[in-house]
A and B are shown apart, each in its own frame.
Chain A
Amino acid sequence: MNAIAKVTRLSKVYSGTAAVAGVSFTLEANKIYGLLGRNGAGKTTIMHMLTAQSFPTSGEIAVFGEAPYENDKVLSRICFIKESQKYPDHYRVCDVLRASALFFPNWDADFAERLLADFRLPLKRKVKKLSRGMLSSVGIIVGLASRAPLTIFDEPYLGLDAVARSLFYDRLLEDYAEHPRTVVLSTHLIDEVSQMLEHVLVIDQGRLLLDEDTEDLRGKAFAVSGAAVKLEAFLSGRQALDRQSLGSIGTAVVWSERGAEDRRAAEAAGLELAPVSLQQLVVYLTNGKLQQKAGDAR
């Protein structure tokens, strides 16, 4: 395991309210992470602290083995594309790219130029006059062409059309294959990114609910449906994240550490199995009704 970032019991309190409460996780090199959660869950706050743009109330952060605050060795290896990134008012798209070339050591100007054509961005237009989608494209271009060992995208999809979204997906994976690095995608639009993610961190109300490889996740969560009586029998002693019934037929989403075994048991009991998408799983975990169960599931 090659950890490039380690966060320990990280907390951030804003005037009495905990935006982030005791979060610990590790980011490994050359993986694509999803930092998922609802709006206001604390995702952006965590990323701000990770990049020393705001300060933790308590807890520890080590990025590339060192504290990030005022640390050039750390900061010069991170590219954090904020949803709220400010650009000087008079900056045009080309000015942003020129500044990026100045500040990101691995900047690839040719790649940036190709991306610019892909996303059809007007080079001479003022950033202030760009639509939300175009502004997101600027962030994506900077994030990809900077080739920073730790690249963080905060809500990269905002306002992007379907074509641009799949462009981002394709270019990221292509470039990631050639130049491996650690990528963190923070978003509440989970379906859009779920295929790319190798590992997910789910945050809700400042707490870490889930820290799993997507591969394992697929094994651990599944949906079962069938006659209510059979379903009840199957569910006793097992974790159900969600339950619905229609007449004598019931459906449940099951969380199980022994996924394969439980699946065979469900089949043996005459129940239908179905996969659960990452999006559905996050909804079940964070919709508020299941806080307790989610805690247990962890």
Chain B
Amino acid sequence: MNRTMRVLTLHLRESSLWFLMPWGIMMMSFVVNFIIGLSIEQEQGMYTGGIASLYIYLFVTGIISVAQTFPFLLGFGIRRNDYFIGTSAMVVIVGIVTAALMQAFAALESATGNWGANLHFFDLPYLNDGPWYQQLLIPFALVLNMYYSGLLTGLFNRRFGHFITFTVLVVLAALGGLASALITKYDKWPQIGEWLASQTAFQYSLWALALAVVYAALSYLLLRRATA
């Protein structure tokens, strides 16, 4: 077994952190919503964003990797390369399992008539509009996107410190503000709105996946120069 596989093995031993915790948190949200759905009659049904907690959890997991498993394994003589590939393999597994479970729960939701509580938790309009393979790609892309943006944030902070990280975030926000002011000035919002609305969730997931690849590549570069 090479050392990349050993890194993956280490992560697999931590399955509770990768699966049990995020699904536990999300399921608590589900149960709360289910009870509310049962107790109040709603004609148009209840829609929640409860699944967002899972993705936010993965973003945090990315940040935490930089402070926990990475320095631990670097100290144990693991190559940065092996850490990156082994961890990425774990993230891909998490993405696949998450996508499969999400799809299964969405199917269960429609089969049970929204859990008998008129609750829309997993099977959501727009997100679950496309064919099955598109519906599978959406959570997969989100898992990767969120994990690597967390990893990149953590590594950037480790490399450049709190002050520069914070400054970069402020600058990014300012650039966003400037862009939106310019769009307003030249009255381009209608076109942009149209374009945004024309994109399907599947198309967005492709964008999310492309960004995830960019985040992963930048993370890799930072990781290669990271010190203990």
- CB within 8 Å: A-B pair count: 60
B75 within 8 A of A: yes
Question: Counting chain A CB atoms within 10 Å of each CB, which of B10, B68, B73, B228 scores highest?
Answer: B228
Neighbouring B residues of A48 by C-beta, 8 Å: 227-228
> Considering the complex, which residues of chain A in the window 83-121 have a beta carbon less than 8 Å from any beta carbon of chain B?
84-91, 98-100, 102-104
Q: How distant is the Cα of A293 from the Cα of B80 in the complex, in angstroms?
A: 43
> Is A82's CB within 8 Å of the partner chain B?
yes
Minimal Cβ-Cβ distance residue in B for A48? B228
Report which of A82, A98, A104 forms a contact with B75, defined as CB distance below 8 A.
A82
Instruction: Return chain B residues, CB-CB under 8 Å to A39.
Output: none
Q: With A54-B228, A72-B3, A102-B10 as given contacts, are A89 and B68 in contact (CB-CB < 8 Å)?
A: yes
Q: B227 is contacted by which of A54, A86, A90 (Cβ under 8 Å)?
A: A54
In the complex, how many angstroms separate the beta carbon of A59 from the nearest chain B beta carbon? 16
> Would you give the shortest CB distance from B119 to chain A, in whole angstroms?
33
Measured CB to CB, the closest approach of chain B to A145, in angstroms, equals 13
Pair B77/A78 contact, Cβ less than 8 Å:
yes
Q: Report yes or no: B10 in contact with A76, Cβ–Cβ below 8 A.
A: no
**Cβ-defined partner of B78 (8 Å) among A84, A85, A89, A103:** A103
Partner among A54, A75, A86, A91 whose Cβ is within 8 Å of the Cβ of B77? A75
Chain B residues lying within 8 Å of A55, measured Cβ to Cβ, are 225, 227
User: Number of B interface residues, CB 8 Å?
Assistant: 25
Contact residues of B: prevailing secondary structure: helix
Give the residues from 59 to 88 in chain B that come closer than 8 angstroms, CB to CB, to chain A: 67-69, 71-82
Is B48 part of the contact surface with A, judged by Cβ < 8 Å?
A: no
Is B6 in the interface zone, CB < 8 Å from A?
yes
Give the docked Cα–Cα distance between A6 and B69 (Å): 30
User: In chain A, what residue has the closest Cβ to B73?
Assistant: A103
Q: Is the CB of B80 within 8 A of A86?
A: no
Interface assignment of A261: CB less than 8 Å from any CB of chain B = no
CA A103 – CA B81 in complex, angstroms? 15
- Jot down 28 A-B pairs with beta carbons below 8 A, ordered by A: A48-B227, A51-B77, A53-B74, A53-B75, A53-B227, A70-B79, A70-B81, A70-B224, A72-B82, A75-B77, A78-B77, A79-B77, A86-B67, A86-B68, A86-B72, A87-B72, A88-B72, A89-B68, A90-B17, A99-B10, A99-B76, A102-B9, A102-B10, A103-B6, A103-B73, A103-B77, A103-B78, A104-B76
Which residues of B come within 8 Å of A, CB atoms?
A: 3, 6, 9-10, 13, 17, 67-69, 71-82, 224-225, 227-228
Interface residues of A (CB under 8 A from B): 48, 51, 53-55, 70-72, 75-76, 78-80, 82, 84-91, 98-100, 102-104
